[in-house]
Structures are given as structure tokens and as C-alpha cells.
Amino acid sequence: MRKSPRLIIAIVIALFSAVTYFTQRSTNEVTGEVQRISITPEQEIALGLQSAPEMAQQFGGAIDHAVVDDYVAAVGERVVARSAAGKSPYRYNFHLLADPETVNAFALPGGQIFITVGLLRRLSSEAQLAGVLGHEIGHVVGRHSAEHMAKAQFTQGLIGAVGVGTGDLSAQQVAAVVGQAVNMKYGRQDELESDSLGIVFMQDADYDPRGMMRLMQVLAEAGGARGQSEFFSTHPNPENRMQRLEALIALTGGGGETAEARFQENVLKYLK
Ligand SMILES: [Zn+2]
């Protein structure tokens, strides 16, 4: 019995997707990890810049307060400038979003980083803010979105193969897969890696890494807000995560600024 040409094409596409996925390897300059990634850092930057306005719009848009906005950017830039993140090819921008209810922070590929007013006003020191931004910078440097996109492309190739085989796959379905890739939640390993990178970046930038621990407590105490938070999206057990951070800080050493007064002066004075 002859195989239909459609089935053969479907098999070829599926094989091609698998081969492409498993041969695209690159070594991460900061983490040293070998990763499967199919886009370049320049494409990551472009993708992040393109999606940034849409991302901002989902959380109340940019806040109209120059002092607080500039302060958040300055803290982020200090973390980048004094750490290995500054040696990565990415261009960092820090955006404060006006949404007062949602307690969250995000990173798009290539260096676009966001924090909501809802999270910012629950913090009490500059070190905690550096912890939020350091964790998000960790997702960028770790290229976590790009990794997910490479996986999604692999999946997409398989779906495409099914589409050719059965003859129905709409452009909307493909677009949905791409959109999902950009907004995808990170995996547990990605969160742990971002925690570790965040701690290291904080230490390099002379911030007290215990700010990250306090940040976890703040998020846990936010209770109902926990479900909304990127930080806890894939972590059913924040206590384990805090123990892990505690061990990491004990190993690498504490010290550094907490800068509560500066946080009060530049943020809480205006947002409370
Ligand atoms: Zn995260």
C-alpha cells in the first residue's frame, strides 16, 4: 500500500522541526548553561520592544509620576551596571505600571522590565526593589523566554505537520501559539535560576541580598495577591524557596545597603 504524499510531507516537517530544535544550541555567556534557542539576542531585543506597549496596556499603562518612575529606573540601572547583567548584549528599560491592585513584575525578552504600583507600594526598602528587578533581570540574562519560544516553535512544527496531514490549521491558531510563547509562564527551574542570579546581582550592586527574602515574605503576606504574582506562579511552596535563598546567602555572604530612607523619600512618600 502506498503512503499518501500528504503523510510523507507531514513526517518530513515533523522531522525537520525536531532536527532544528535539537541542533540549535548556544552557550549562555553569563550562566555558562548550554541552551536550545532559535532566535538571536538582537531578535529578543526587537521582540521585547515591540511587545512592551501591549504589555504596559494590560496593567494600567505607564504611571504619570516622574520622581517614582526615575527612581525605579535608577535602581534597575545600578543593578545592571555593577553586575554581569551589564556585560550581556541586552538593552534594559524599567517600566513602572499604574495598576494599583495587581501585585506583580515581569520581563520581556531582551531587557524590557515591568513592576506594578500594586507591588512597589508593598515594599519597604530599595534592597527589596533591587530584589524584584534583579530577579526579572535574571529571566532576561537566563534567556528564559527565548528558551520557551524555541520549545514552542518545536511544538508549532509538530502542530504544523498535523495541519498538513489533516489539512486544517488556521493562521489564527498559529498566531495563538506565538502569542502564548511571549506571555508564557516560566518553569520552576527558571524561577530558581532567576532567584540565584538576582541574589548575585544584588551583591554585585552592593544591596543587602536579604532584601530578596523580605520580598518573598511581602509577596506571601499579600495572600490573595499570591495567585497573581509571576514570582509565585510556578511555586506551590514559597517556604522551600526561602530556605534555598537563605542557604545561598549564607554561602555567598550578606552585607550591602538596604536603603529604607531613600525608598521612603522616593516612593512611599508619593504612593501611600
Ligand atoms: Zn520569575
Per residue, the 3-state secondary structure of 69-120, as one string, reads: HHHHHHHHHHHHHCCHHHHCCCCCEEEEECCCCCCCEEECCCCEEEEEHHHH
The answer to whether position 90 is within a domain reads yes
20 has pLDDT over 70:
no
Indicate whether 74 belongs to any domain: yes
Ligand 1 centroid from CA 156, angstroms: 25
Distance 19 CA to ligand 1 centre (A): 30
The phi, psi pair for 62, rounded to 5°, reads: -70, 145
| In-domain check, residue 81 | yes
Q: Domain range spanning residue 258?
A: 41-144+184-271
pLDDT score at 76: 98
Q: Summarize pLDDT for 164-185 with one digit per residue, the tens.
A: 554 444 444 434 433 444 445 6
pLDDT at 68: 96
Q: How far is the CA of 231 from the centre of ligand 1 (A)?
A: 5
Which of 38-42, 131-135, 142-146 is predicted most confidently?
131-135
Grid coordinates belonging to 272? 501611600
Helix pair 126-141, 66-81: axis angle to 10 deg: 60
Separation CA 207–CA 203 (nearest Å): 6
In a domain, 79, yes or no: yes
End-to-end CA distance of the chain: 75
Ligand 1 centroid, distance to 236 Cα (angstroms): 14
Residue 36's SS3 state is strand
pTM given for the model: 0.81
Please report whether residue 26 resides in a domain.
Answer: no
CA–centroid distance, residue 129 to ligand 1 (Å): 14
For the cut 70, the answer to whether the pLDDT of residue 17 exceeds it is no
pLDDT digits (tens, 9 = 90+) for 52-80: 887 788 888 988 899 999 999 999 999 99
Let me know if residue 31 belongs to a domain.
Answer: no
- Cα(140) to centroid of ligand 1, in Å? 10
pLDDT of residue 169: 40
Maximum Cα interatomic distance, the chain, rounded to a whole number of Å? 79
Distance 102 CA to ligand 1 centre (A): 15
Total domains in the chain come to 1
How close is the Cα of 125 to the center of ligand 1, in Å?
Answer: 20
> Which residue type, as a one-letter code, is found at position 192?
L
Quickly tell me which residue has 525605579 as its cell: 72
* Ramachandran quadrant class, 255 (left: phi over 0; alpha: psi -120 to 50; beta: rest): left
Asked if residue 4 is part of any domain, the answer here is no
The answer to whether residue 131 scores a pLDDT higher than 70 is yes
Which H or E run includes 10? helix 5-23
CA 1 to ligand 1 center in whole angstroms: 53
Q: Which amino acid is at 87?
A: K
CA of 227 to the centre of ligand 1 (A): 13
- 185 CA distance to ligand 1 centroid (A)? 8
| Gap from CA of 233 to ligand 1 centroid (Å) | 8
Asked whether residue 218 is domain-assigned, the answer is: yes
